[in-house]
Amino acid sequence: MSCCQPQRAPEGTEGPEPVAVDAAPAPVVHDEVALPGGGFLMGDAFGEGYPPDGEGPVHPVVLDPFRIDATAVTNDMFAAFAAATGYRTEAERFGTSAVFHLAVAAGRRDVLGRAPSAPWWLEVRGADWAHPGGPRSNLDGLGDHPVVHVSHNDALAYCRWAGRRLPTEAEFEYASRGGRTGLRYPWGDELTPGGEHRANLWNGTFPSRNTLADGYLTTCPVRSFPPNGLGLYETSGNVWEWCADWFSPGYYRTSPKENPQGPERGTTRVTRGGSYLCHESYCNRYRVAARTSNTPDSSTGNCGFRTVAL
C-alpha cells in the first residue's frame, strides 16, 4: 500500500468490469497546451527519491510533440460525461471509497474502517466523485475543482468518451518540468520561494493539524496557483494524476529512449504529481521526478487525472 494512496482491497470479491462508453462526446472544452516535444533528462537528479519508487537512474528521453490539458479534469467536466453516458464510477459500483479522516462527511455507520498502514485514510460508504467526503457531502461550489474518487478505469472511460487519452509518465514529467532542466519542482528548487506557496500541499503536522497556510485543507480550484513555464497548472500538489503506464520500479534501467510507454504489463498504474496530503515528513512526492502507483480499480479523495489529445 502506498502511504499516499490506499489500494482498494474488497473482501472476497473482485472489482467490477470496466464499462464500455459508446456515447458521442458532449461539448466539453479541454484547455490544451501544445508542447513541442524533444529531449529531456527524466528521473531524480538530487538523490531524494524513495528507493522502492525507482526514480533513477536519470536517463535521456525524446518525445514527439503532444497536446495536454492545462489543468486536471474538473468536476463539471466529469459531470458532463456522467450525464451524457450514464456512467457509474467504480467507487459508485463498489459503494465505498477512501476519504482523508479530516474530510469525512458521513455518519459513523458509514465509516467502515481504516487503512492498516495509513490510518488517516477511512473507507467510507457512499463516498464517490459526486460526494467527495461521503454521503453528507456534495459538489456545491466545487465545479472547478479536480474530480476525485476516480479509478484508472474510470479515467480511461472518460478518455474514450472525450476522444482523448491519458498522458504517459514521460509526457507528464516533461510537461511538469515546464521546459526547464534539473529542477526539483515545476517552479524551481525551493518549495516556497520568498515565502510564496506554489502548490496545494500539507502545511503543519501530518496528519493531525493543517495550518492552511496555502489556503486549502483538501482540493483547490484548478488554476489556483501560478502555471509552470509551459502553461500547466498544479502538476505538483492538489491531486495525484493517473498516467497511462503500468508501474515498475526497475523500468528506467531498460526503458527506450524515444516515447517510452511503460512496461507491457503490471499490477499497478503510475500516478504522478503528489496531492494536498503530501508533506516532506512522510511523502516527499511532489517533486517533478517523484512517482508512485496504485491498482487500476482504486479510488481516493486525492487522485484525479488530466488528458492528452489523440
Region 15-37 average pLDDT: 73
CB count, 10 Å around CB of 268?
Answer: 19
Region 52-79 average pLDDT: 98
Residue 288, domain member (yes or no): yes
Range of the domain at 299: 32-72+142-309
Question: What is d(CA 6, CA 216) in angstroms, rounded to the nearest whole number?
Answer: 22
Question: What is d(CA 238, CA 224) in angstroms, rounded to the nearest whole number?
Answer: 10
Task: Report the pLDDT value the prediction gives residue 124, as an integer from 0 to 100.
Answer: 98
% residues pLDDT > 90 (the chain)? 89
The residue that leads in pLDDT, 309 or 25, is: 309
Over 48-85, what HEC string results?
Answer: CCCHHHCCCCCEEEEECCEEEECCCCEHHHHHHHHHHH
Question: What is d(CA 37, CA 142) in angstroms, rounded to the nearest whole number?
Answer: 33
Lowest mean pLDDT among 14-18, 235-239, 270-274: 14-18
Task: Report the pLDDT value the prediction gives residue 6, as an integer from 0 to 100.
Answer: 84
pLDDT band at 12 (very low <50, low <70, confident <90, very high): very low
Quick: pLDDT tens for 203-262.
999 999 999 999 999 999 999 999 999 999 999 999 999 999 999 999 999 999 999 999
Task: Sort 2 into a burial class: Cβ within 10 Å, 0-12 / 13-18 / 19+.
Answer: buried
Q: Does position 17 have pLDDT exceeding 80, yes or no? A: no
C-alpha cell of 51?
528507493
The residue that leads in pLDDT, 8 or 18, is: 8
Quick: pLDDT tens for 110-165.
999 999 989 999 999 999 999 999 999 999 999 999 999 999 999 999 999 999 99
Task: Report the pLDDT value the prediction gives residue 7, as an integer from 0 to 100.
Answer: 82
Task: Report the pLDDT value the prediction gives residue 4, as an integer from 0 to 100.
Answer: 72
Region 271-278 average pLDDT: 98
Residue 162, domain member (yes or no): yes
Question: What is d(CA 26, CA 138) in angstroms, rounded to the nearest whole number?
Answer: 23
Q: Does position 11 have pLDDT exceeding 50, yes or no? A: no
Residue 291, domain member (yes or no): yes
- Tally of structural domains, the chain: 1
Given the DSSP bridges, would you call strands 32-35 and 269-272 parallel, antiparallel or unpaired? Answer: unpaired
Residue 78, domain member (yes or no): no
Contact criterion met (CB below 8 Å) for 289 and 91:
no
Residue 97, domain member (yes or no): no
Cα-to-chain-centroid distance, residue 71: 11
Question: What is d(CA 108, CA 15) in angstroms, rounded to the nearest whole number?
Answer: 25
Q: Does position 83 have pLDDT exceeding 80, yes or no? A: yes
Residue 281, domain member (yes or no): yes
Residue 109, domain member (yes or no): no
pTM, full prediction: 0.94
Task: Report the pLDDT value the prediction gives residue 16, as an integer from 0 to 100.
Answer: 47
Task: Report the pLDDT value the prediction gives residue 82, as an integer from 0 to 100.
Answer: 97
Task: Report the pLDDT value the prediction gives residue 2, as an integer from 0 to 100.
Answer: 46
Contact criterion met (CB below 8 Å) for 142 and 289:
no
Residue 250 maps to which CATH number? 3.90.1580.10
C-alpha cell of 257?
529512449
* Residue whose entry in the numeric block shows the C-alpha cell 503510475: 270
Residue 282, domain member (yes or no): yes
Q: At what angle do helices 152-162 and 75-85 cross, to 10 degrees?
A: 70
Quick: pLDDT tens for 176-193.
999 998 999 999 999 999
